[in-house]
Structure 1
Amino acid sequence: MKVLLDLQHLNVATTGIKTYMLELAKAARKYSHPEIEWIFTHEPEIQAADRSFLGPKSKIQRLNYHLDYFRWKEFQLPDLVKKYKPDVLICPDFVSPAASLPCRRLTVIHDAFFWQMPENYPRWWRKYFLNLIKKGLKEDTEIITTTEYSKSSLVEHLGDAWPISVVYQAPKGLKSASDTQFLSRCGLNSHGYFLHIGTFDRRKNLPLLVDAFAAYLNQNPGCKKLVLAGGPGQSKRMNDFPVVEKLVSDLGLQDQVLLPGYLSDGEIKALYEGAFGYVFPSQNEGFGIPILEAMGFGVPVIHSDQQALLEVAGGAGLAFQTGDRDDLTEKMILLDREKVLRSRLISQGKERFKDFSAEKFIEAFHRLILKPSL
């Protein structure tokens, strides 16, 4: 059974989708199956390191990227299908070619954000991208998504014309050595800070976290710091970084809230190892990789009661009511004061982490690949 894995999108993918693609490729190589031959369109690490289309770009440069992406999906990828004659094509970035293909398709649609939150996307771009997605859902196609919550959301917006399977992904494998000096360079003490890692997309609710942290400090002055690591939101419309910066300044929290930006794997590893607690206040997620990363490092997790996060945490996190600042503050205080609770969350989190291994991730793909065609 030949499987062609489309890895073109790694040159611009960020956060969750990038992790998904890289971990899928790594697992495919590490946990081989005697009946499956994997063919990659690109060498994963090399494609992920290509920064040609990353960073702030002019309108012309952004247009060039969209043209490059369209050319890849509609011409170059179908040509590779003709060349390699795979039995299955996997597109892990929402979009499969509109052209008719002589193979099965497994198309990964990670979430339903484009339908659920149209206000977060430029109208013309959203319309164009949704058109690409729908034109690629044809012939012998099966959709793969990340959680039961995402599945139900996709059925609501796409209907049930295509079978949808849930495959739990594996978190990023942080193999780099921990940067042991990073905490001291940032003025942080081990177990002396709450942590969040990710982009400043509006749906992440990071201003809410800053507000809740300020309220927490009112009852525990000087007790902990807050680290918000990661870069700006993925578009000007979705970016809450300036909002967070202004809020930190207005609240006088410049010494208590750190915004270190994008970090290396070694620096991220050091932050996880030293964190007192991980806080994930997002209002909408398709999966929530940082929950698992934190649990794997023995960091107790506070998360919103958004459905995907409840599903991934599996009861091993401390949930608060989505969007409720006072409830979030209460949970941060509770984690700080209740040592038995914190120990229990750490223990349960480590057990929950085991349910999302790279081996289980690829085994789920193996089952779908080898399943008889409909």
Structure 2
Amino acid sequence: MKVLLDLQYLNVATTGIKTYMMELAHAARTYPHPEIEWIFSHDPEKQSADQSFKNPQSKVQRLNYHLDYFKWKEFQLPDMVKKHQPDVLICPDFVSPAASLPCRRLTVIHDAFFWQMPQNYPKWWRTYFLRLIKKGLKENTEIITTTEYSRKSLYKYLKKIYPMTVIHQAPKKLSEGIDAIFLENHGLEKQRYFLHIGTFDKRKNLPLLVHAFADFLKETNSDFKLVLAGGAGQSVQMNDKPLVDSLLAELQLQDKVILPGYISDLQVRTLYKGAFAYAFPSENEGFGIPIVEAMSFGVPVIHADQPALMEVAGGAGLAVQTGDQLDLKEKMILLSSEKKRVAAMIKNGLEQSKKFSAKNFIEGFHQVILKN
């Protein structure tokens, strides 16, 4: 059984989809199956390091990327299918070629955000991208998604019912070691900060987290800090970074809320190793990989009761009502005052995180690939 894995999108992917694609490629190499021959469209490391289209600074650069992506999906990838004659084509970035192909397709649609949250995307781009997705849902298409919540959401918005399988992904394997100077440079002490890692997209509810943290400090008079690591939202419509910046000035929290920006894998590992708890108030997620990452490092997780996060946490986290600032503040206080609860959450979280291994991830694909 020959399987072609499309990795072209790694040249621009920066967040969850990048992790998904890289870990899928690594797992395919690490856990080979005797009946499956993998063909990668690109070397994952080289394609991920390609800077040709990353961080476009002008409309011309963005247009050039979209043209390159369209050319790949609609012409070059079908040519590669003709050349290698795979039995299965896997497209892990929502879009499969519109052309008819002589093989099965596994198209990964990670979430239903484009349908659920149209206000977060430029109208022209959303219309164009949804059209690409729908045109690629051709004959012999099966959809892979990340959680039961995403599966149910997609069935709601797709006009046609496609075979759909939930495969839980694996977190990124972070390099060993820590960067102790990083904590020192930001005035951080181990076990004395709450953590969030990710973009400042509006759906992440980071202004709510800042407000809840300010209330937490007032009630506890503690020396805790809050770390919000990551870059701006992925579009003007989606970006809450300016609002967070203004909130920090208004609430005089500049020395209490640390914004280190994009950070290295070693710094990510360092922050997880030293965090007291992870705070994840997002109003909408397709999966929520930071929950798994935090739990695997023995960090208790406070998360919104959004369905995907509840599914991934599996009861090992501390759920708060989505969008409820008071509830979030109270749960932060609860964790800071109950050592037995923290110890139990750490234990349960470590067990829950084991379910999301690279081996389980690739075996989910093996089962779908070989079922026919």
The answer on whether the counterparts of 2:199 and 2:230 sit within 8 Å (CA) in structure 1 is yes
Which structure 2 residues correspond to residues 135-214 of structure 1 after superposition, within 5 A? 135-214=135-214
TM-score, length basis structure 2: 0.99
Alignment of 1:37-48 (within 5 A): 37-48=37-48
Give the SS at the match of 1:364: helix
Report the 3-state secondary structure (helix = DSSP H, G, I; strand = E; otherwise coil) of the residue aligned with 2:99: coil
Shift of 1:289: 0.2
Q: What's the offset of the Cα at 1:176? A: 4.4
Say if 2:291 is the partner of 1:291.
yes
CA–CA separation in structure 1 for the residues paired with 2:268 and 2:20: 18
Query: 2:15 — aligned with what?
Result: 15
- The CA deviation string for residues 76-130 of structure 1, in whole angstroms up to 9 with x for no partner, is 0000000000000000000000000000000000000000000101111101000
What's 2:6 paired with? 6
Instruction: For residues 4-48 of structure 1, give each alpha carbon's deviation from its aligned partner in whole angstroms, at most 9, with x where no partner exists.
Output: 000000011121100000000000000000000000000001111
Higher deviation after alignment, 40-49 or 214-223? 214-223
Q: Which residue of 1 aligns with 2:236?
A: 236
Q: Does 1:97 align with 2:90?
A: no
Aligned position for 1:28: 28
* 8 A contact 1:176–1:266 mirrored in 2: yes
Residue 307 of structure 1: how far off its partner (Å): 0.3
- Decide whether the 8 Å contact of 1:176 with 1:265 is kept in 2: no
1:1-374 to structure 2, matched below 5 A, reads 1-372=1-372
8 Å contact kept, 1:201–1:238 = yes
Answer whether contact 2:316 2:345 (CA < 8 A) is retained.
yes
Q: CA deviation at 1:370?
A: 0.4
Q: 2:322 is matched by which residue type in structure 1?
A: T
In structure 1, what is the Cα distance between the partners aligned to 2:19 and 2:335? 29
Equivalent AA in structure 2 for residue 100 of structure 1: S
TM-aligned CA deviation for residue 143 of structure 1: 0.2
Shift, 1:56, TM fit: 4.2
Q: Give the distance between the partners of 2:181 and 2:60, measured in 1 at CA.
A: 42
Contact 2:56 2:62 in 1 (8 A): no
**Contact 2:224 2:256 survives alignment (8 Å):** yes
Q: How far does residue 160 in structure 1 lie from its aligned partner after superposition?
A: 4.9
Q: What amino acid sits opposite 1:46 in the alignment?
A: K
What amino acid is aligned across from residue 27 of structure 1 in structure 2?
A
Shift of 1:223: 2.4
1:226 deviation in Å?
Answer: 0.2
Unpaired stretches in structure 2, ≥5 consecutive residues: none
C-alpha displacement of 1:134: 0.3
Find the aligned partners of 1:61 and 1:215 in 2 and give their Cα distance.
Answer: 43
Counterparts of 1:280 and 1:29, CA distance in 2:
32
**Ranges of 4+ aligned residues in structure 1 off by more than 3 Å:** none
Percent identity between matched residues is 70
Cα displacement (A) at 1:180 = 2.4
**SS state at 2:315 partner:** coil
Shift of 1:159: 4.1
The worse-fitting range, judged by mean Cα deviation, of 243-252 and 152-161 is: 152-161
> In structure 2, the residue corresponding to 1:181 is in which secondary structure?
helix
Question: For 1:246 and 1:145, how far apart are their aligned partners in 2?
Answer: 37
Q: Deviations for 1:253-274, whole angstroms, at most 9, x for unmatched residues? A: 0100000000001111100000
**Aligned with 2:90: secondary structure?**
strand
RMSD: 0.8
Instruction: Indicate the SS of the match to 1:302.
Output: strand
Opposite residue 353 of structure 1, the aligned amino acid is: S
**Between Structure 1 and Structure 2, how many residues are aligned?**
372
Q: Could you tell me how far apart the structure 2 residues matched to 1:235 and 1:49 are?
A: 22
How far does residue 337 in structure 1 lie from its aligned partner after superposition? Answer: 0.3
Alignment partner of 2:228: what SS?
strand
